[in-house]
Amino acid sequence: MSNKVVQAMYNDDDILMDAVKEVRAANYHIEEVYTPFPVHGLDKAMGLKGTRIAITAFMYGCVGLVFSVWMMNYMMIEQWPQDIGGKPSFAFIQNMPAFVPIMFEMTVFFAAHLMVITFYMRSRLWPFKEAENPDPRTTDDMFVMEVIVDGNEDELIAFLEKTGTVEIKVTEKH
Amino acid sequence: MYTFSSKLKTLSLALMIIGLLGVGYGFLSAPASVDEVKVLLQESHNTHGEVATPAGHAAAESGVAVQAEDAHAEHIFHLLKNKPWSALYVALFFFFMISLGTLAFYAIQHVSQAGWSIVLFRVMEAITAYLPVGGVLLFVFFVLSATHMNHLFVWMDPEVVANDALIQNKSGYLNVPFFLIRAAIYIIVWVLYRNYARKMTIAQDALTDLSNYRKLFKSSAAFLVFFLVTESMMSWDWIMSLDPHWYSTLFGWYVFSSLIVSAITTIALVSIYLKGKGYLEFVNNSHLHDLAKFMFGFSIFWAYLWFSQFMLIWYANIPEEVTYFVTRFNDYKVPFLGMVVLNFVFPLLILMNSDFKRVPWFIVTAGIIVLIGHYIDIFVMIMPATVGDQWFIGISEISSILLVLGIFIYVVFNAMTKAPLLAKGSPFIKESEHFHY
């Protein structure tokens, strides 16, 4: 089977949204959509699943909280329970209010940074990464919908031409 | 148009009657004299099988110990006399603050030109209908305090002031006439704005131009300025002055955070109730989601201020400030720490998930917990100063809540019947009806 894809270009996000709905209704498989800016509701129209990154952030936050509690308890209570300005260092709970600012910041730090790193890893973004851009105009004013050719190519192109596209390219998928 | 269901009306009247009986019982069962307290103390010693401080008994013959015991009994007597009054005061303040917080939230919605909340305006206006009623009840309560019907505000007692240099120094601010005048000014201006706003939005329904809308925008901005100043002063007057030896800078904002989160919760609960009855078909779950987000955010804001006030005082541990928390820690450990769980940990975990915030029963559960938590918050602000270690959430406290809750429900839902539930004159009404998140 060939890896041929049709790249249908649009110059308006509303037309793109309608096209996505039509293509999905006609049971063609949309490989990818490239847009210059976030199009509200596009993920729903494409039928993409919701992101789970918030759940990972919650778990990372819990890790940060546990880490800070362990760290403060180990350093201030267990390892060297010094009397610093009369603060009670006999038990973690007794000196807990003084640790809360650190516990809070650690939770936020872990949640934020690890979530961002997760995002980079899942979306495969890093410095020196080669851009996967089918057409330079998609970062400026063009919207590109890639549809996999599965069966009759001419029929698919004829169908896409009716959806308001301004340009159609057929290429091999790299 | 909303019709006040007879069931709800009966419920509110039943709450008022039960509450009134309980409050009456609370006042009747308060000890009438110091001697009665002495008998009570003796009985409690006997039932607990303890011997009252050995030193006291051994030296009972000496006049000093007897005097000390008398002073102790008299102290307890005053605390117990205060108990039904304080219970009533906590309940009155709690529902008044819900109404006041709703008014502040409502004014913020006008000034920020929020596009989502217009469909909830009539709900908010109805909740603020309790403001004049609650204001009058509170003011009557203050007049009764000023005429020495109770001893909640110790600085109102000339005998106490005569022996207390600290209060004497504050008497330029803490004196009865000025206190009553201030209270009257706050309540009157708040009620004036509330009635004006209500009149304007109802008039706007029939108008095609936006003149009323503009007037309301300006008056709401002016109200918010007035509110932020007077809310702070109100918290010093009505709550902080119960402990006239203690002061805290962020107290006004702390009270505000409690007030705004209970208000938003009440708006959500009333909206869900009305929607369940089919009166608010233009309110969708995105509106509820927004209210739940505010509940979540302001719960955390409350915890932030609560902790900031506590931690700063705990950390520096200056004796004159720290007594406030020492009494709360010694005598009120369960409510003082329990409310942090109810007002912070619970909403944090329940309302974090975006999907949960769209489910009515989740919001109702979280809302009820939050309201209970903030009642306890007010309880722990007021009770230690007035009844000390003699607190108990018993008949007086619960029936005071029921009494004021009955009045609150009656007034709010009665006001709901007075105007259509959709404020259709607002320029943002279309946006609000189509709001989705």
Least CB–CB distance from A97: residue in B311, B352, B354: B311
Identify all chain B residues contacting A58, using CB atoms and an 8 Å cutoff: 352
Q: B105 — contact with chain A (CB < 8 Å)?
A: no
Residue A49 DSSP symbol: P
Q: Does A58 touch chain B (CB under 8 A)?
A: yes
The type of residue at A166 is V
* Sign of the torsion angle spanned by Cα atoms A3, A9, A10, A11: positive
Sequence-ordered list of residues with C-beta below 8 angstroms from that of B310, at least 6 positions apart, any chain: A97, B325
Q: Is B299 helix (H, G, I), strand (E, B) or coil?
A: helix
B225 or A4: which leads in pLDDT: B225
- Whether A58 and B352 lie within 8 Å, measured CB to CB: yes
Residue of chain A minimizing CA distance to B348: A58
The C-alpha torsion from B326 through B327 and B333 to B335, rounded to 10°, is: -130
Residue B368 CB partners (closer than 8 Å, separation 6+): B269
Residue B294, token pair as written in the block: 């505010």
Q: Is B314 in CB contact (< 8 Å) with chain A?
A: yes
What does each C-alpha distance from B69 to B331, B390, B405 come to in angstroms? 21, 17, 40
- Give the C-alpha separation, A108 to A110, whole Å: 6
Q: Classify residue B48 by burial, with Cβ atoms within 10 Å: 0-12, 13-18, 19+.
A: exposed
Per-residue pLDDT tens for B368-412?
A: 999 999 999 999 999 999 998 889 998 999 999 999 999 999 999
Where do the H-state alpha helices sit in B317-359? 319-331, 333-340, 346-350
Q: Residue ranges of chain B with pLDDT lower than 50?
A: 50-60
Question: Smallest Cα–Cα separation from A108: which of A53, A54, A55, A58?
Answer: A58
CB-CB neighbors (< 8 A) of B434 in chain A: none
Tally of helices (H runs) and strands (E runs) in chain B:
18, 0
- Which one-letter DSSP state was computed for residue A131? P
| Rounded Cα–Cα distance for residues B150 and B144 (Å) | 7
Q: Check CB contact under 8 Å for B354 and A54.
A: yes
- B437 touching A (Cβ < 8 Å): no
Element spanning A111, H or E: helix A96-122
Nearest to B152 by CA among B96, B98, B93, B97: B93
Distance of alpha carbon B405 from the chain centroid: 12
Kindly determine whether residue A97 and residue B315, on different chains, have CB atoms separated by under 8 Å.
yes
Give dist(CA B303, CA B321) in Å, integer.
Answer: 20
Minimal-distance CA residue of chain A relative to B315: A98
Kindly report the nearest CA distance between residue A48 and chain B, in angstroms. 17
List B residues 183-242 in contact with A (Cβ-Cβ < 8 A).
none
Identify which of B213, B190, B187 has the alpha carbon closest to the alpha carbon of residue B200.
B213
Which chain B positions have a beta carbon within 8 Å of A98's beta carbon?
311, 315
Contact B23, B417 (CB under 8 A): no
Task: Give B355's contacts (C-beta < 8 A, 6+ positions apart).
Answer: none
* A32 vs A7: CA distance, rounded Å: 9
Phi-psi region of B278 (alpha: psi -120 to 50; beta: other; left: phi over 0): left
* Alpha-carbon span B234 to B138, nearest angstrom: 12
Taking the alpha carbons at both ends of chain A, their separation in whole angstroms is 14
Angle at A80 between CA A78 and CA A84, to 5 degrees: 115
How far is Cα A66 from Cα A70, in angstroms, rounded to an integer? 6
Residues 6 or more apart from B41 whose CB is under 8 A from it?
A: B52, B72, B73, B76
How far is it, in rounded angstroms, from Cα A92 to Cα A79? Answer: 12
Contact B307 A100 (CB under 8 A): yes
CA distance A87 to chain B (A): 8
Pick from B94, B115, B97, B118: nearest CA to B106: B118
Assigned token pair, A121: 């890893």
Give all strands (DSSP E) within chain A, no chain letters. Answer: 4-10, 30-34, 143-148, 167-172
Q: Which of B187, B184, B202, B183 is nearest to B125 (CA)?
A: B202
Token pair recorded at residue B344 = 């912070």
Give the integer Cα–Cα distance in Å for B43 and B257: 43
SS3 track for B152-164: CCHHHCHHHHHCC
Is B315 in contact with A98 (Cβ distance < 8 A)? yes
Q: Is B169 in the A-facing interface, judged by CB distances under 8 Å?
A: no
Query: With contact defined as beta carbons under 8 Å apart, do B213 and B204 qualify?
Result: yes
A2 pLDDT more than 90: no
* CB < 8 Å to B314, chain A: 97
* pTM of the predicted structure, to 2 decimals: 0.91
CA distance B347 to B291: 13
CA distance A31 to chain B (A): 27
CB B152 within 8 A of CB B145: yes
**A127 interface with B at CB cutoff 8 Å:** no
Q: pLDDT per residue over B187-225, tens digit each?
A: 999 999 999 999 999 998 888 888 889 999 999 999 999
For the record, the structure tokens of B77 come out as: 């007597």
What DSSP designation does A47 have? Answer: T
Q: What is the pLDDT of residues A86-129, one digit of tens each?
A: 999 999 999 999 999 999 999 999 999 999 999 999 999 999 99
Token match 């490239």: residue? A34
Chain A: closest CA distance from residue B118 (Å): 24
Rounded Cα distance, B393 and B345, in Å: 23
Element at B29 (helix H, strand E): helix B6-29
